[in-house]
A and B are shown apart, each in its own frame.
Chain A
Amino acid sequence: MSAHENAQEGYDFAHPLPLPLLAGTFLVLTLLTVLTVAQASFNFGSLDVLIVMVIATIKAVLVGAIFMHLAWDKPFNIICFIGSFVFVGLFIMATLFDSRQTAKDDIPVTDDAVVSAPAEL
């Protein structure tokens, strides 16, 4: 996308990332891992899962944007990839919602006769 003028069209399109950026990203990812492990020794109650998932998501965004080069990628590729996570979110939320609604349907069967009773029609 940058300097095509001096070369043949469609050649020299590579966009190598500077090494300090890659190394810095790795460093931040390692620090975030240490942070995740460290926070496990404190009790945040129900916020626990939320904190862990936020840290994991920051790490995933860093990996995606810099290591996977998404920050400089074509918009369509970004839309495809982010779109998959939107569908994952929908999938998990809808299933959890359904599971919560139907959890009370669990009728304990203590007598075998209940099971063997014919379903008449």
Chain B
Amino acid sequence: MATTDAGLASDAHEQPGHGHSDHGHGDHDHPSYLAHHFDTPEQQFDSGKLGMWLFLVTEVLFFSGMFCAYAIFRAWRPEVFEGCSQFLNTKLGAINTGVLLFSSFTMAWGVRCAQKEQHKLLTVMLATTLSCATVFLGVKAIEYSHKWHLGLLPAGLFSYDPSNPHPVGGPNYLAYICAPFVAITIGVAIWLVVSFLRGAKFQLECAKPLLVVCLCFFVGVGLGTILESGGEEGHHEDDHAVVASTDGTAAEHGKEHAHADGDQHVDHEEPAAAAVASLPAAGAMSNDSADLAVLERLASDATNTGLQDELAARKAQSERSGGGILYDVSDDASATVASAPENVLRPSRAGVFFSIYYCMTGIHAIHILAGIGVLVWLLVRSIRMDFNRNYFGPVDYVGLYWHIVDMIWIYLFPLMYLIR
């Protein structure tokens, strides 16, 4: 394969081409892949590559603005970043890192295939890269919808309530995120069937890998669901300990406070738990425990949402009245109003963390979407066997873009998910 003269082969290719010679191409012959203002394929490749590198420079500078915002807010409030990072699922982040690294590997392999004119293998590599991209987005869909459901939203919309972490009702965010992907998958499936029935061979060849790519999104969603539910047990103790404390386990409560105030207080956890255990349980101080029992029974009727809200409010109130006065043992000397601003989960503070989180990961996801767009273009061209050892520029340039998206995630992952 590699021994054929790619230049000559493509020259022959150009002859049946329609209308090429009518706009002045006839006077000097050059392969169809070589634009007429370039002398050689190498010159064409180098020009394109320089342009791509300059674009990547603007990408790096573009993302640096967000990394700068991250640096400033983290320098101001390190404890907020530590506290809020607990809400990000490290397993999902790590899986996504692996998926992106693998897609980078297949992309680099794809460039090699294009250079060596392995057309079939190039198509396989591009399809694999695309599939990894959709798996990544599927996992991301689970992450986002889970957080939106909890109310872990950007500043201004942040509505997470530790005493009611699983609000009943609310829209099914996952369905909204999945809807466009479902529509695209159905569209591709219909295209596949139609092109099969009409005997359109080329279209069939394009639709087959694209259907696999679309289905991989749902593989990602499934993977994310499994990991998210698997990580829930470990999660529960940290995030939702307050729920347990309303049932009277005051020791849990002390633990929750120790967590919320960052690791400088973790050393106090054991004495705090012991001290708190000797105190009356949260909720026992207020004498509406009987009301709570009644309400709990009423609220077990899931249709009675009004009562459920009231119950949630009462729980929050009684827990706060108990916890605020008796159990804030995080700092004995200053368990006063003055210590309140230190609360990591204050909406204005935690919201800023999630603003940065959504901004950075969201724009990264938009880059993944753009990458999917250009990779689909490459996939179609590779099925058309457009690339050869003198013309592999587009594969290389898209590869560079894909690697920089991966590189940005390499920094995002530890900075967002791995803060203690």
Contact = CB atoms under 8 A, between A and B. Distances in A.
Contacts of A10: 39-43
B72 A83 contact: no
Contact of B108 (A22, A88, A91): A22
B105 A80 contact: no
Interface in A58-95: 59-60, 63-64, 66-69, 73-74, 76-77, 80-81, 83-85, 87-88, 91-92, 95
Given A40-B420, A60-B410, A99-B75, A13 B42 contact: yes
B61 A88 contact: yes
Interface string A30-70: 10010011001001000010001101100110011011110
B292 interface: no
Interface in B356-402: 389-390, 392, 396, 399-400
| Interface size of A as a range | 35 or more
Contacts of B400: 68
A84 B50 contact: no
B403 A64 contact: yes
A16 B411 contact: no
A105 interface: no
B46 interface: yes
B98 A68 contact: no
B238 to A, nearest CB: 14
Q: Which 4 pairs show the lowest CB-CB distances between chains A and B?
A: A10-B40, A26-B105, A14-B115, A88-B64
Interface of B: 7, 39-43, 45-46, 49-50, 53-54, 56-57, 60-61, 64, 67-68, 71-72, 75-76, 90, 94, 97-98, 101-102, 104-105, 107-109, 111-112, 115-116, 263, 389-390, 392, 396, 399-400, 403-404, 406-407, 410-411, 413-415, 418, 420
Interface of A: 8-17, 19, 22-23, 25-26, 29-30, 33, 36-37, 40, 43, 48, 52-53, 55-56, 59-60, 63-64, 66-69, 73-74, 76-77, 80-81, 83-85, 87-88, 91-92, 95-96, 99-100, 103
28 contacts: A8-B40, A12-B389, A13-B41, A13-B390, A14-B115, A22-B109, A25-B105, A26-B102, A30-B98, A33-B101, A36-B413, A52-B414, A53-B414, A63-B104, A67-B107, A77-B50, A77-B53, A80-B53, A80-B54, A81-B53, A83-B57, A84-B56, A87-B61, A88-B61, A92-B68, A95-B71, A96-B72, A99-B72
